[in-house]
Amino acid sequence: MSQPLVEARGLTRYFAQRGGLFLRRSQYVHALERVNLTVRQGETLGVVGESGCGKTTLGRCILRLIEPTAGEVLFEGVNLLTLSRQEMRQRRRNMQMVFQSPYSSLDPRFSVLNLIAEPIVTHTDLKGKALMARVEELLARVGMEGDYLYRYPHEFSGGQLQRIAVARSLALNPRFLVLDEPTSALDVSVQAQILNLLQQLQRELGLTYLFISHDLSVVQHISNRIAVMYLGRVVELSTTDGIFYGAHHPYTEALLSSTPVLDPALRRERIILEGSVPSPANPPSGCRFHPRCPKVMSICSQVEPELEDIGGGHLVACHLVSGGNIETILSPRAKRSGAKGLLATSVRDSSLHSVPLRMTSSCLVESRRT
């Protein structure tokens, strides 16, 4: 469980944006800025954030579908970014992606057989009956028994298409899947079916997931750990309970508070952030969240906070935390959420005391390597 399978170090991606007369002026959209994270063997790491926070770019950079501008991606200790095309192609068998909309990720002119067989034909020598049997086996795995091989995408519902997309991603027995908003295009009742399928497959096949979503309740449901992103940076990373019951970053708190809860009795004062996410082409100085932060301090606009371990692997990038003032950072949500929250708080506090040395995330990476 604790063995890292995928590791991103200082992952950065800028997109050039041209404009002005004759497109001579170019500026850079900072989609990802020095992101460090580890996905452990067999776990689900959830990535949440609002549109434009870089979560999709992160997923794609990790699979090298987009070339990162800087940084490293280690898959089983091998830096993918130094591999040749040929070597990368070999590696890709182990890592696959499921996209948000199966309507656009599945070619409408391909039958189900061809859709699922394509990666197998590309990478292996399987042919004829054996190939067909393999495709049928994959379809059965995703709960689609029956006569589907010669049918086309338009004949299926969204939920069925997403099952086919999952079957296709499993065709080469990958170990790592990047799931980019796999249920966002689906209705709640179908979303539940797909989430169950993903959990079941993970258990049966020992898969590792990077699960990208904007929906906190979905991420909470499926993830072991969660990374919260804002404007290209990871601002908080912890276990699911650590994020939900012991959030430290003001952005995480606001995000949790903005998510509607399913109980009318719990209508509450929310933390409503002002304004909207600034343009990543021109991110604010210092902490990128400072213009919207309800707890902004003078240092926030000048110095960019780095991820720090506040104990138990809970990483936060916020000056409130590095200031060490525990009283002001006690999350109001933890206080509100009663016994469970209090429990999480006390556990967190004790773990804080047991870690006298505060380590930055990069130190952590170093220590894990040695």
Q: Which residues bind other proteins (CB under 8 A)?
A: 50-51, 157, 159-160, 187-193, 195-196, 199-200, 214, 216-218, 220-223, 240, 244, 254-255, 257-265, 267, 270, 272-277
DSSP for 73-129, written as a single string:
EEETTEEGGGS-HHHHHHHHTTEEEE-S-HHHHS-TTS-HHHHHHHHHHHHS---HH
Q: Name, in order, each residue with C-beta under 8 angstroms of 11's C-beta and a sequence gap of 6 or more.
A: 32, 34, 35, 36, 58, 61, 62, 68, 70, 71, 72, 73
- What's the closest the beta carbon of residue 186 comes to other proteins, in angstroms? 9
- What's the closest the beta carbon of residue 39 comes to other proteins, in angstroms? 17
In the bound state with other proteins, the residue whose beta carbon lies nearer, of 120 and 226, is 226
Q: Both tokens of residue 150?
A: 């010669």
- What's the closest the beta carbon of residue 159 comes to other proteins, in angstroms? 6
Q: Are strands 225-230 and 44-48 parallel, antiparallel or unpaired?
A: parallel
R_g of the chain computed on alpha carbons: 22
- What's the closest the beta carbon of residue 81 comes to other proteins, in angstroms? 31
In the bound state with other proteins, the residue whose beta carbon lies nearer, of 138 and 255, is 255
In the bound state with other proteins, the residue whose beta carbon lies nearer, of 35 and 197, is 197
- What's the closest the beta carbon of residue 216 comes to other proteins, in angstroms? 7
In angstroms, the CA 28 to CA 22 distance is 17
- What's the closest the beta carbon of residue 184 comes to other proteins, in angstroms? 11
C-beta separation of 33 from 10 below 8 A: no
In the bound state with other proteins, the residue whose beta carbon lies nearer, of 324 and 332, is 332
- What's the closest the beta carbon of residue 218 comes to other proteins, in angstroms? 5
In angstroms, the CA 358 to CA 349 distance is 14
In the bound state with other proteins, the residue whose beta carbon lies nearer, of 177 and 198, is 198
In the bound state with other proteins, the residue whose beta carbon lies nearer, of 269 and 327, is 269
- What's the closest the beta carbon of residue 310 comes to other proteins, in angstroms? 22
- What's the closest the beta carbon of residue 370 comes to other proteins, in angstroms? 33
- What's the closest the beta carbon of residue 21 comes to other proteins, in angstroms? 19
Strand partners, 35: 11
In angstroms, the CA 317 to CA 339 distance is 27
In the bound state with other proteins, the residue whose beta carbon lies nearer, of 114 and 199, is 199
In the bound state with other proteins, the residue whose beta carbon lies nearer, of 122 and 200, is 200
In the bound state with other proteins, the residue whose beta carbon lies nearer, of 278 and 313, is 278
In angstroms, the CA 34 to CA 306 distance is 10
In angstroms, the CA 48 to CA 180 distance is 11
In angstroms, the CA 115 to CA 106 distance is 7
Backbone angles phi, psi at 225, to 5 degrees: -130, 160
Q: How many residues does the chain have?
A: 370
Distances (CA, A) of 66 to 61, 94, 105: 5, 17, 17
The number of helices, as runs of H, and strands, as runs of E, in the chain is 15, 13
In the bound state with other proteins, the residue whose beta carbon lies nearer, of 3 and 217, is 217
Closest CA to 235 of 285, 272, 287, 275: 287
Q: Both tokens of residue 74?
A: 């280690």
